A and B are shown apart, each in its own frame.
Chain A
Amino acid sequence: MFAQLSPAWRRTALAVATAAGFTALPAFAQKGATYRMMQDDFPFQAACIGVNIPTNNVAYKGYAIRVGNDAAVLWDTDTLRLVAGWTGGFVDTHGVVFDGNHGKHPQMIGDQKFAVGFGPGVAGANGSYADTRPEPYGPIDKSVAHWQGVHVNGMNVLLNYTVNGNTLISEQPGSVATEGQIAFTRTIKVEPPTSRFLFFKSSKTKAPFSLALADAEGAVKVTADNSVTIAGNGKVTVVTAANLPQGASLAAEGGRVSLKFATGTKGGTIKVAIWTGAEADSSKFAGIAAQAPDLADYSKGGPKRWTETVKLQGKLNTSATPDGAYVTDSITAPEDNPWKRRVRFGGMDFFADGKRAALCTHDGDIWIVSGLDSTLEQLEWSRFASGLYEPLGLQIVDGQIYVSGREGITRFTDFNNDGEADYYEAFNHDIMSTRGFHEFVFDLQRDAAGNFYYAKANPVNGGGRGFGDEKASRGNGTVCSHAGCLFKVSPDGKKFEVVARGFRAPNGIGVRADGQITTGDNEGTWVPTSPINWVDGKTFHGVINNLTPKAAAEAYAPPIMWLSHADFCNSNGGQTWVPNDNWGPFKGEMLYESYGKSSLYLVMRQDISNGRQQAAAVKFPLKFTSSVMRARWHPTDGQLYIAGLSEWQSNAARITGFDRVRYTGKPVYSVRGVKVVKDGVQLSFTQPLDPASVEDVQNWSGKRWNYIRSETYGSPEVNVGNSEKKGRETIDITAAKLSADGKTVTLKIADLKLANNQSLKWSLKAKDGTPVAQDIQHTIHEIPSANALN
């Protein structure tokens, strides 16, 4: 496959056709038009979102929701709180996935009319809104209130959550305009649990609870017609409610207006209205709640929103390995689309028939592409969902799409089979999220048992060094106990656990069918260069933040190998395992994706003592449309598909790409195994080699070096024997011996030493004369005491 000599500074193969992966320049890009980041044809955008009042009022996992009349509200899925309503705008486009800002997040634009301050928006049976979370991030006590998800229907949304573990609340935020004034409405359907006694069925709340409606300071007037008026600062806030069942009431206590439910309250649909304005206008709002819109019918899904599709042609053979065994095909991305959405793929999976794939974008959309056949001539892209909070992982299970993002794992249901999601379900949103722009949530993988895995970055400070320095910028976020962790979520979504910690920015993980987890990580603080981590559930993977337990930090497990920043990988993608023989001779081997170098590597592992491993990597010299980040095996054609984006340091050509790595069936000419032996290294190849070229040491060279793991950003390469000395050291390869079958070379290396990295480079011929020129990097944790034969 390879037969291409790869120098230190660049490792790609020849043969890219002139128009790698796209046929036409996006029209809007030519015109210099900007992307449409906040959509006016979709009801919400999820993000960490701030409002103006009170100071620092923020929803870490917020939905800014358009409610008509150029008004918007903010919903917090952690605290189940309608944070604020405002008129005259939506939210600004600050933030890492919007305008690229490192440190700011979207903030409301307009005139804020009401607020509920930070903390739980629901009080449970004990009547208290107190925040009982150990850290002020992630979901509040689920026994009080538990976020379920959001339905969309046209421009309406229905927010679903349970209260006291048994009462379902479904509420639709809205607005009513009258005489130039805008009131915010909450149409709240309450469904208490149903119980039976003999033949009598009843639905009544089993315990009291309250929903926070507005915080306001001033003189409070509660009237019998379910209206609360709070006057202060020359303004009044009027909260009214209609259709209150018996046992439900408006109350104003401690500066907060609540909708209170007593034990035994029956279900029903309550309409609440909130208005703020000049006192003179307040009389207009008597009875306004009754005008709140009725609930739309969400059970059947809404009308099709994105009726257009983007039809494109793919391109075959955009690059090839020199032996012709592997080629890339490009599946053209809908960079130019009618909605001016930016497309940066962060996750991808196939539907079972293999004809279609779903891809999520870091920009918050899910796209579905059809036409994934051998010709790629009729690609058709359609939109499936939008408004998501920085999704970077996607799985399809039983035809249903699951996406991981800053909120956790969300599952999508299309009730009416119109190709668009109607229900965005909080499959598991237990993960904590703070303001940090760098708290990326990466990848979504599954084991054979159906468990889900994904990872979260540490809140790296703007500029890349250190974590969660709020003094430098609030937008750096806070180190929370999920920072830099890898999570496992049970197949039913009910159980969420941290299975590994100590990561910095692991943009991509791998899960073998047997559940073995691997991760990469991005060099930086405590990460000297790109590692491949072997996660065994007990180990800590090196990145120390201010919450890292001391014992964990001491249990640091080095990776199975390092890849050098300079020439192999400066920023990782995911890992995947070759499932079978359909894709050439590498069944059961790991492939490593490099985001930064837009490259794919074969990882060759060697077992050493105490259940540990050491590994080597060799590149598939192919070219990709963008970075190499998320790989999946096609369910029917057996080929490898890779999606990627370009957002942080990468040599990726395009901002996004989706490529197929196709095995052509031609013989592969490559190294396929690397083992350190007593006095050297043993390399096995896929084809017999020419003895004369192998045994001439002029055709072999190598170097070695170490790294320094520290809290500085990355590491220089230093001498193996003397870390004060920078740079790589040339090793002395004294002999090369070829085995009788011509497929195994044993290199004798003088003064072989343990090394964080050793590189080997060769320019040989196969027995049939085909050039075999490659280079590898490997890590030597251990030098076995005996010369192995294989």
Chain B
Amino acid sequence: MPALNLLRRCAALTVWLATGTGATLAAESEVRGLTLTVASGGKSDVSLAPNVWLHVPAGQPATPFVAPGKFTAAWAGTLSAELRADFTFHGEFTGHLKVTVGETVALDAEGTGDQPVQGKTVRLNKGTNQLLAEYTAPENGEAFVRLFWSNSETPYNPLPLTELRPADSAELQASQLRHQGRDLWAEARCAKCHITPGGMAELTMDAPSFNGLGTRRNPAWLAQWIEQPAVLRPSSLMPKLFHGTEAKGDSAAVAAFLASLQGPTPLAVTPGDAAVGQALFEKLHCGACHGSPDSGEAQPQQLSLQRVNAKFAPGALAAFLQRPEAHYAWIRMPNFKLTPAEAQNLAEFLSAAATKTEATSAPADAALIAQGKKLVTSSGCLNCHPLDGMKSELTAKPLVDLTADKWTAGCLADTPTDNSKAPAYAFTAAQRTALRAFAATDRTALTRHTAADFTTRQSEHLNCRACHGQHEGFPTYELLLGKLKPEWAAQFIGGTAKLKPRPWLESRMPAFPAYAQNLAAGLAQIHGFGPTSGADPKPAAAEDLVKSGHKLVGSQGGLQCISCHPVNDLGATQVFEAPGINLGYSFDRLQPSFFRRWLRAPTALQADSKMPVYFDEEGRSPLPDIEGGDGPKTIQAVWEYLRLGPQMPKPE
């Protein structure tokens, strides 16, 4: 799974772009986005970017593959229009931005920060138009770009993601291989043996803890897993450490030792209700990552649940479901905040659907356990897996000594031999190619972290798009970019948010505590926003605007928002089609610019939204008696009212 090959990576990107606004979709599954080339300090990096968006905080690198400092960026590709039509381009940016559409320069200006700079009106042909956006970051300070377009029938919005295609570039493919190699270096925990200068966030990722493992795993499964991890899980990044004729015995010894590591208290075994568990499995969309519980290894993208009985000691599955990150902080399985009863019901269901296994008891052979203990320290297990009071004795060459020519042997040998001492990873040929491509770089990318880069990769690993954009009430991943304030997103992704924005959904957003902070910042930064919310000062005469906003939200002469949206503890008055999110939370949740674009034309952002479009093509409000019918003022009035959050006076 982490080692998505290039093709799959592109396909995945296609899927998430394709499930976007839904308004327009090409039939072909093509790669969407633009080819982004970033250059700084004599080096350049090419990647696939969803749009002409970028945010680089002061002093940070634009991508992990270039050094911090002044940089240039260029997005190249095509932009499709539905009909021959005129469009005006606008940019919100610092530094300098030049946008060329076909032969015409659509925008060429110094940026003024959050204040949009309007470019020229240019004619786009029906079908594809060459697009080139060239950006020069400012000498100092934060660098950002957010490009928009508009015309008489298109409100101010980013270029539609569905209409962007990257420029063909051999360099893009080569660069993506390097990115993938770097990703694998972290995901396969290479740095745990080969000392690596830090910086990339995932270099600190842990592996499942050995403390008390014997209480949580069945001994027989441990032995099997250690001996042949890739047989139990083809996508596993756990290497096979024992080879040759000793492999079986060594694995059994290590398993015996691990099985002897009992936790402080035995796990309670409480029976659950499998039928209730099944309903929960469906409600929570567990199948998005696991397929159906009785499916085997047929789908390589999904983690089979067939062996839960073999793997988990009695009571351990329910405990794991309740707190997956308890013994493994960076586990990809999120925390669904299950109640004990829910965890038991789900465990009962999974257990009933999985292959039955005979209970085995842990080997009591002291000599075997001692042998295992020795192997655990000598074989490198403890390089990744923590165990209190014990240290690994295995060392390997540091990264700096692993010159590129050496990346064809040892762990990366094309055909590992049985007498090799190196751990045997189940890398595919494509994965080895990617690692070698990365080896050929100066590897300083491992010393750099950007939240945007983190989010681009981890959103794939964590399978965000398996639910987002797939089910009702799950905003598409792309819609989330630039939608949520990073502070709120961090709470929501991290599982610390107190409220559920869509309480009517049976499903729930699970928590990814280790990932949350970076994902939240990354979602914003990919869209050109800072990792923390920007200034949003109250406008002059805010109090009058609040009054107008109060009226607009109400039903007496307003837009009747309260028909569908609750406001704090005041319930929605008349929900006919779709309930709306409580407006009491909106200010904390939403980027102000997203709110403005959303209220102006919700179905332009999400075609299947039930939210009505109130503003006309000139952006005027349908209520001329409030704020003179001025669209932006009307929208700002609602925002100023929302700003009061829990103190919002009740709408009428």
Contacts and interface: CB of A to CB of B under 8 A. Distances in A.
B617 A14 contact: yes
Nearest to B609: A566
Interface stretch (A80-88, A286-294, A694-702): A694-702
A727 B25 contact: yes
A22 B625 CA distance: 9
Contacts of A524: 577
Interface string A613-631: 0000000000100000000
Interface stretch (B80-88, B243-251, B295-303, B581-589): B80-88
Nearest to A505: B576
Contact of B153 (A5, A649, A721): A5
B557 A25 contact: yes
Interface string B594-612: 0000000111100110101
B153 A100 contact: no
Interface stretch (B15-23, B42-50, B368-376, B454-462): B15-23
B578 interface: yes
Given A20-B624, A648-B576, A701-B82, A728 B608 contact: no
Nearest to A702: B82
A10 B557 contact: no
A653 B613 contact: no
Nearest to B18: A727
Contacts of B615: 10
A96 B563 CA distance: 11
A578 B563 CA distance: 35
A464 B576 contact: yes
B574 A16 contact: no
B83 A99 contact: no
A25 B607 contact: no
B26 A10 contact: no
A566 B607 contact: yes
A655 B23 contact: no
Contacts of A464: 575-578
Interface string A622-652: 0100000000000000000000001111111
A29 B577 contact: no
Interface string B215-257: 0000000000000000000000000000000000000000000
Interface in B1-49: 18-19, 22-27
A19 interface: yes
Contact of A6 (B19, B153, B504, B622): B153
A573 interface: no
B617 A729 contact: no
B608 A566 contact: yes
A758 to B, nearest CB: 14
A524 B575 CA distance: 13
A703 B24 contact: yes
Contacts of B27: 719, 721, 729-730
Secondary structure of the B side of the interface?
Answer: loop
Contacts of A650: 612
Interface in A1-24: 5-10, 12, 14, 16, 18-20, 22
Contact of B604 (A9, A102, A696): A9
Interface string B613-629: 11111101011110011
A648 B577 contact: yes
B645 to A, nearest CB: 21
A716 interface: yes
A585 B628 CA distance: 37
Contact of B625 (A19, A99, A596, A703): A19
A12 B126 contact: no
A623 B616 contact: yes
Contact of A100 (B25, B85, B574): B574
B652 interface: yes
B579 interface: yes
Contacts of A16: 616, 620
B25 A726 contact: yes
Most B CB within 10 A of own CB, among A12, A99, A462, A762: A12
Interface string A21-38: 010011001101010000
B83 A762 contact: yes
Contacts of A32: 556, 652
Nearest to B162: A727
A700 B603 contact: no
A565 B608 contact: yes
Contact of B624 (A5, A19, A565): A19
Contacts of B573: 99-101
A728 B560 contact: no
Interface in A560-611: 565-567, 570-571, 596
Contacts of B258: none
A717 interface: yes
A100 B607 CA distance: 28
Which of A6, A653, A696, A703 has the largest count of B CB atoms less than 10 A from its CB?
A: A653
A333 B578 CA distance: 29
B374 to A, nearest CB: 54
Report the contact-size class of chain A (Cβ under 8 Å from the partner).
35 or more
A16 B23 CA distance: 27
A463 interface: yes
Contact of A10 (B24, B504, B613, B623): B613
A132 to B, nearest CB: 36
A726 B612 contact: no
B617 A10 contact: yes
B629 A5 contact: no
Contacts of A654: 622-623
A14 B604 CA distance: 19
Nearest to B80: A730
A763 interface: yes
A141 B152 CA distance: 62
A653 B614 contact: yes
Contacts of A652: 622
B378 interface: no
B564 interface: yes
Contact of A716 (B22, B622, B623): B22
Contacts of B608: 565-566, 716-717
A18 B629 contact: yes
B607 A8 contact: yes
A356 interface: no
B141 to A, nearest CB: 36
A206 interface: no
A756 B347 CA distance: 43
B574 A648 contact: yes
B16 to A, nearest CB: 12
A761 interface: yes
B173 interface: no
B563 to A, nearest CB: 7
A698 B564 contact: no
Nearest to B560: A646
A113 B270 CA distance: 55
B360 interface: no
Contact of A647 (B22, B574, B616): B574
B624 A728 contact: no
Nearest to A464: B577
B83 A29 contact: no
A7 B601 CA distance: 11
Contacts of B441: none
Interface of A: 5-10, 12, 14, 16, 18-20, 22, 25-26, 29-30, 32, 34, 96, 99-102, 462-464, 524, 565-567, 570-571, 596, 623, 646-655, 696-701, 703, 713, 716-717, 719, 721, 725-730, 761-763
The list of the 8 closest CB pairs from A to B, nearest first, reads A653-B622, A727-B25, A651-B612, A648-B576, A7-B153, A100-B573, A9-B603, A29-B557
21 contacts: A8-B23, A9-B602, A10-B615, A14-B617, A18-B628, A100-B563, A101-B573, A463-B575, A464-B576, A566-B23, A570-B577, A648-B563, A649-B564, A651-B613, A654-B623, A696-B84, A699-B126, A717-B608, A727-B19, A762-B83, A763-B84
Given A5-B83, A727-B22, A730-B26, 14 more contacts: A10-B615, A14-B618, A19-B625, A29-B556, A463-B575, A566-B23, A647-B574, A698-B125, A700-B83, A713-B472, A716-B22, A728-B22, A728-B23, A763-B85
